[in-house]
Amino acid sequence: MINFVKRNIVSFLIALVVIVSVTLGFHNAKLYVPNHGFDGSGHVYYIQYLFDNKQIPPPTEWETHQPPLYYILGATVMSFTDDIKTPQFLNTIILWLIIIIVGIGLNRVFKNKVQTLLGMLSLAALPMLNIFPAMVTNELLSTFFIVSAVVACIFLVTDKDQTNIFRISIWLLLSLVLGIWTKISIVTALPAIAISYALVFFRKKSPKKHLFISGITVLVAFILAYIPIFIRGANSNSPSNIVNTASKISNKLPANFFYRLDWIPKVDMYNTQYYSLLGGAWNSFWSDGHNAITPFVPFHKKAFILWSLGFVLLPFSIYGLIQIHKKNKHISIVINTVGISMLVMYVLYNIMSAHYSAARLTYEMAIIIPYSFGIAAAANSKRKALIIAMFLFLQFTIMVSFYWIVSWWHVTS
């Protein structure tokens, strides 16, 4: 009887989180003006052009250098209503696809329902992910394919009998091809993929021939899929062209930009992107420090709670990552490679651009992989699981309340 009640409570809480999360996304999408923001008008123009002309626009306008997959989906959805706001509802669905695919990876590693659900809840409650469902942007779909590729890597290194290499490689291939046709950011998954194949290849009894053929096939398919994207980027002198991007690397920021911590004692929850990389990352991960959807308030109590929860949840996640490393070094290597790759690209991006928006960690959103796995691993006892659950439900509740767009906010006009 007690177990039955517990199962019902858990089921109720899961359903509640999903319903509230989807309601938040749809509500915000309804009120949020799609042209709002630094590049909103560019994304809207891309979808509108596809809808009107039934072809991909030339890569000469703001954002039209981007690969077309997300915009094709947006134009397809728009065809049912003839309303440019309709594609805004896509990202709420994509958010939950991200949470589900991470959940599949979590279940593969931990084989524990509580740890899996807490890892998923850590993403449903994460402010950084919940900024985007209201917008027209390819960021979440790009993150989905990166996460999908990484979860495939986790399956690869945990395939004990090594009988599913071909199937996993197909999964990886699709993630990479669809990812590169969504955004160039998928390249950040390549180190983790290469290391995953290497870890399996150098096992004593691994089917080296099958691994080699599978790995080469995935690589060749990715290169072939990337060629038209590269050419498109070359014609626009855009970030999609790695050669153009690499040639622009020159440090335009003072050295202390990369290590300043004075934003912590100042409790600066909003302006750190102008003077601190670490502060910009923290505020974009744990709150809405860049005011992407919420109005600017010098000291907002809800923002402060979210900002402060990071100082509790991050140590939990780091503790969990240490536990993973102790139990399974191969999984740890894959997960930590993702985190390191994201952080390296984040630093390089800020070296390339001194623009304040570059200090948003949302550009390397797949860093949610090590974060969520760390949270799940930290919940390795009933007591720890209960404590983490309490903090995550508090974060989820405050996040929903803080992000619930009101009609008078600046993003509605």
356: confidence class by pLDDT, cuts 50, 70, 90: confident
* Dist. CA 283–CA 275, nearest whole Å: 13
In angstroms, the CA 65 to CA 183 distance is 10
Mean pLDDT computed over 377-383: 96
Residue 263 shares a structural domain with residue 210 = no
* 271 shares its domain with 209: no
- Using 50, 70 and 90 to split pLDDT, how confident is the model at 246? very low
pLDDT interval class at 238 (50, 70, 90) = low
Please state, in angstroms and rounded to a whole number, the distance separating the CA atoms of residues 116 and 379.
10
Question: Positive or negative CA dihedral for 138, 144, 150, 152?
Answer: negative
**pLDDT value at position 1?**
61
Domain count, the chain: 2
C-alpha distances in Å from residue 258, one per residue of 278, 310, 366: 7, 19, 21
Confidence of residue 243 (pLDDT cuts 50, 70, 90): very low
Q: Are residues 269 and 410 in the same domain?
A: yes
Q: Are 309 and 394 in contact (CB under 8 A)?
A: yes
Domain hosting 231: range is 141-238
Q: Taking residues 260-282, what's their average pLDDT?
A: 95
Hey, CA dihedral for 160, 166, 167, 171, is it positive or negative? positive
**One domain for residues 231 and 281:** no
Q: Is the pLDDT of residue 237 over 70?
A: no
d(C-alpha 311, C-alpha 305), whole Å:
10
In a domain, 338, yes or no: yes
Q: CA-CA distances (angstroms) from residue 47 to 131, 299, 331, 364?
A: 20, 37, 39, 24
Per-residue pLDDT, 352: 86
Q: In the listed set 206, 238, 270, which residue is the last one of a domain according to the structure?
A: 238
| Residue 51 reports pLDDT greater than 90 | yes
Judge whether residue 132 has pLDDT over 80: yes
- Asked whether the beta carbons of 122 and 103 are under 8 A apart, the reply is no
Q: What does the angle CA 45 – CA 51 – CA 55 come to, to the nearest 5 degrees? A: 90
Q: 296 and 211, same structural domain?
A: no
Distance, first Cα to last Cα, the chain: 53
Residue 53 domain flag? no
pLDDT at 249 over 60: no
Q: Is the dihedral of CA 197, 200, 202, 205 positive or negative?
A: negative
Domain boundary among 186, 207, 238: 238
Mean pLDDT (the chain, rounded): 91
Count of beta carbons in the 10 Å neighbourhood of residue 357: 16
Please indicate, yes or no, if residue 327 is contained in any of the structural domains: yes
pLDDT at 6: 65
Give the DSSP H or E segment for 307: helix 301-327
Instruction: Judge if 230 and 255 occupy the same domain.
Output: no
Q: Are residues 227 and 269 in the same domain?
A: no
Q: Is the pLDDT at 241 greater than 50, yes or no?
A: no
Same domain, 288 and 194: no
Residues 325, 233 within the same domain: no
Token pair recorded at residue 97: 């696809």
Q: Is 369 among the domain residues?
A: yes
pLDDT recorded at residue 250: 53
The confidence score (pLDDT) of residue 2 equals: 60
Same domain flag for 312 and 412: yes
In a domain, 159, yes or no: yes
Task: Please determine, for residue 240, whether its predicted confidence score (pLDDT) is greater than 60.
Answer: no
Q: Could you tell me if 216 and 276 lie in one domain?
A: no
Is 29 within a domain? no
* 281: three-class secondary structure by DSSP: helix
State the pLDDT at residue 10. 80
Please compute the mean of the pLDDT values over residues 366-392 and round it to a whole number. 97
DSSP class of residue 199? H
* 382 and 279 both lie in a single domain: yes
The band of 37, judged by pLDDT with boundaries at 50, 70 and 90, is confident
Q: Is residue 380 part of a domain?
A: yes
| Exposure string over 284-318, b if 16+ CB within 10 A, otherwise e | bbbbbbbbbbbeeeeebebbebbbebbeebbebbe
| Nearest by Cα to 362 from 187, 148, 129 | 129
1/257: higher pLDDT: 257
Per-residue confidence at 36, pLDDT binned at 50, 70, 90?
confident
Strand segments (E) across 87-240: none
In-domain check, residue 286: yes
Q: For 153-197, how does the pLDDT look when each residue is reduced to its tens digit (9 = 90+)?
A: 999 999 988 789 999 999 999 999 999 999 999 999 999 999 999
Look at residues 190, 217, 238 and tell me which one is the last residue of a structural domain. 238
